């Protein structure tokens, strides 16, 4: 049994990782300031409230626990927002990660698994993207993740850190238990927006761009179930028990779905004839992102279990139709309202 720090463990992928670590018999400590995560997701392990931007908080945390490794999910991840506020993304995604790595070095914690992204590649030059595909991010979000990957390479070489960077493509779905799932506010991801609309929620969702160089003119993405991603992280930790240096893996199914195909799949699974309008492209969106998962399979023994889009959507629909999801969102709305009132009162005072 090992003790792992999960940064961002109250978030979407981080909470599923905590559940997976717990099931594997490990001790879990979550570092999360709940700025985007949910208190209701803190079902496994201990929670330490704070941000990785605060180096003193991290030192206190590392003094309190003897960590065997760190899994880092705490990041800003909205492409469009990163185009509007690049410095915020570099501060939180890059500078804060340097804080974390610096404290790890002080306390001689060597194992590090990093949540990266397919956004590091930019516009693809091949139908399937392998790890050696050129990296040319089209937005500050992708570039911030690529910067951290380079920092990790240099840190592994200089300080003996052992690191894995997992470049996921599109995380989707929810744990079949219905205990946890995706609950962003605002929601920007396609599948949860479609599923929430199918469940009767008044949510704005559109097909962004119909003139891409794809078969039906809409963007093509590789969707990976969140539990499959959690499994890959656990395998990455096991890999670092004997592997030294920096290792990078693409996590995808090798099968791309266009936006129109996803819309049709949600209609089929939900039985709802949802009407989705079309609009212009979003800045920073590549046309086609599909992974080659051969390296992850060969080295980590990883392959996605959720291979059908319908199965992924079914878990998402189950979660977004649940009372737990509605309670999470109501709690977030109440906290936001209270914060706005406090700000207004402060301004008036």
Q: List residues with catalytic annotation.
A: 141
Quick one: which of 313, 342, 45 has its CA closest to 198?
A: 313
Could you tell me which residues are beta bridge partners of residue 97? none
Q: How many CA atoms lie within 13 A of 285 on its CB side?
A: 22
Distance CA 256, CA 266 (A): 16
Backbone angle region of 68, left / alpha / beta, with phi > 0 → left and psi within -120 to 50 → alpha: alpha
Would you state the structure tokens that stand for residue 291, as one six-digit string?
A: 């992974």
Quick one: which of 247, 245, 249 has its CA closest to 231?
A: 249
| 80 class by beta-carbon count within 10 Å (0-12 exposed, 13-18 middle, 19+ buried) | middle
Distance CA 4, CA 45 (A): 10
């Amino acid at each position: 049994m090992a003790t792992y720090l999960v940064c961002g463990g109250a978030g979407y992928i981080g909470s599923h990782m905590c559940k997976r670590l717990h099931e594997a018999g490990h001790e879990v400590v979550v570092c999360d300031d709940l700025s985007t995560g949910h208190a209701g997701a803190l079902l496994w392990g201990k929670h330490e409230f704070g941000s990785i931007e605060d180096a003193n908080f991290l030192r206190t945390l590392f003094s309190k626990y003897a960590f065997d490794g760190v899994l880092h999910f705490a990041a800003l991840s909205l492409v469009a927002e990163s185009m509007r506020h690049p410095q915020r993304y570099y501060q939180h995604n890059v500078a804060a990660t340097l804080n974390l790595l610096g404290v790890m070095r002080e306390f001689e914690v060597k194992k590090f698994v990093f949540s990266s992204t397919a956004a590091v590649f930019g516009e693809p030059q091949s139908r399937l993207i392998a790890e050696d595909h050129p990296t040319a991010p089209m937005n500050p979000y992708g570039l911030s993740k690529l910067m951290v990957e380079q920092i990790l390479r240099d840190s592994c070489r200089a300080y003996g850190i052992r690191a894995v960077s997992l470049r996921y493509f599109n995380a989707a779905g929810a744990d079949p238990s219905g205990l946890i799932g995706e609950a962003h506010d605002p929601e920007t991801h396609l599948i949860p927006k479609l599923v929430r609309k199918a469940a009767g929620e008044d949510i704005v969702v559109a097909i962004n761009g119909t003139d891409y160089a794809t078969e039906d003119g809409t963007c093509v993405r590789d969707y990976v179930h969140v539990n499959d991603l959690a499994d890959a992280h656990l395998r990455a930790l096991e890999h670092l028990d004997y592997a030294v240096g920096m290792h990078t893996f693409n996590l995808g199914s090798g099968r791309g779905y266009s936006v129109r195909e996803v819309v049709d799949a949600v209609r089929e699974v939900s039985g709802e004839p949802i009407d989705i309008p079309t609009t212009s492209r979003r800045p920073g969106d590549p046309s086609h992102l599909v992974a080659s998962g051969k390296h992850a399979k060969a080295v980590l023994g990883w392959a996605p279990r959720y291979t059908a889009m319908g199965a992924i959507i079914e878990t998402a629909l189950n979660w977004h139709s649940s009372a737990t999801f509605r309670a999470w969102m109501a709690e977030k709305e109440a906290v936001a309202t209270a914060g706005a009132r406090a700000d207004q009162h402060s301004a008036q005072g």
